[in-house]
Amino acid sequence: MTCQDRTARTESDSLAASAASRPFDRSATAWLVGQAVRYLNTAGKEGEYEYGRVVEVLRRCSADALEAVAGISAQVQGGDTPLRWNLLYVVGDVGDERAAGFLLKAALASLPERKEGEGCESERDMEMLVSTGAIDSLRRVATRHPQVADHVLKLVAARPARPLLIEAVKAAVDLGLGEKVHALLPEEDRWMLDIRRARPQELFAEPEREDGKERGFTPPKSGPLYTAPSVGCCAQRCEE
């Protein structure tokens, strides 16, 4: 089964121009990818359910889905960081072994130099956010398709910027590749192997106030397991 809109090849120049300004209108598969992005950013159980259904359909035509994402990503390259992050996230849930090379290339994309006085959310920070998304998506693809787990080792061996190397090491450990990563890392970087990934449910703080019951105070509940991407200063501090 294929989701590719075969009629796209015979569209007029005017329709092609329209697709350039509306990337999710490029093909039927691109439209489905757009729906995945939409529901990924829809709060609540309904958004999660609809996202899961779209992912189920896209997995049946994962090659076409990867081609659609690659085309849209190339069109917005260097801009619209949230969209590019979302596209990579979708690939992480939809892609098969053919997606591993695409994600590895995205994770190792050159980062802009940090400019003095830029502060947080610089161009480098935004590109690092996209690369981090690619690493996590590669981990999820390798979880479903263990035969491509070596791509995570290639990422570690490439020695990307330190924040990205940390994420790559965490991904490799999650995939059970800790011993192989230990051999790849120099002694001064092996502390990265001791980083443990905690789920939100594991994090709980006792309220310090003594008058909680009288005022109806209750500790905040855990939020969703994923949120829209945001950038802080942590990437800069990790590099220093």
Domain check: are 130 and 190 in the same one?
yes
Residue 58's domain spans which residues? 19-83
Domain check: are 126 and 155 in the same one?
yes
Domain check: are 106 and 191 in the same one?
yes
- Please give the average per-residue pLDDT across 112-141, as a whole number: 87
pTM comes to 0.74
Domain check: are 126 and 154 in the same one?
yes
Q: Rg of the chain's alpha carbons, rounded to an integer?
A: 20
User: Lowest mean pLDDT: which of 11-15, 173-177, 208-212, 221-225?
Assistant: 11-15
- Please give the average per-residue pLDDT across 129-152, as a whole number: 96
- Please give the average per-residue pLDDT across 112-126, as a whole number: 78
- Give the percent of the chain with pLDDT over 90: 56
| pLDDT-based confidence at residue 76 (cuts at 50, 70, 90) | confident
| pLDDT-based confidence at residue 208 (cuts at 50, 70, 90) | low
In a domain, 88, yes or no: no
Tokens of 124: 């480098």
Q: pLDDT digit string (tens) for 27-52?
A: 999 999 999 999 999 999 999 999 99
Q: Say if CB 167 and CB 155 are below 8 A apart.
A: no
* Type of residue found at 114: R
Domain check: are 65 and 106 in the same one?
no
pLDDT of residue 148: 97
In a domain, 184, yes or no: yes
| pLDDT-based confidence at residue 218 (cuts at 50, 70, 90) | low
In a domain, 6, yes or no: no
pLDDT of residue 85: 95
Q: Say if CB 89 and CB 130 are below 8 A apart.
A: no
In a domain, 92, yes or no: no
CA distance 128 to 202: 27
Domain check: are 134 and 162 in the same one?
yes
Domain check: are 163 and 105 in the same one?
yes
CA distance 181 to 166: 11
Domain check: are 240 and 128 in the same one?
yes
In a domain, 34, yes or no: yes
In a domain, 210, yes or no: no
Domain check: are 105 and 185 in the same one?
yes
Residues in the chain: 240
Q: Smallest Cα–Cα separation from 134: which of 114, 111, 113? A: 111
User: Lowest mean pLDDT: which of 45-49, 103-107, 186-190, 197-201?
Assistant: 197-201
pLDDT of residue 211: 53
- Please give the average per-residue pLDDT across 60-79, as a whole number: 90
Highest mean predicted confidence (pLDDT) among 17-31, 169-183, 187-201: 169-183
Which run of H or E residues covers position 56? helix 44-59
Count how many domains the chain has: 2
Number of CB atoms found within 10 A of residue 212's CB: 13
pLDDT of residue 212: 52
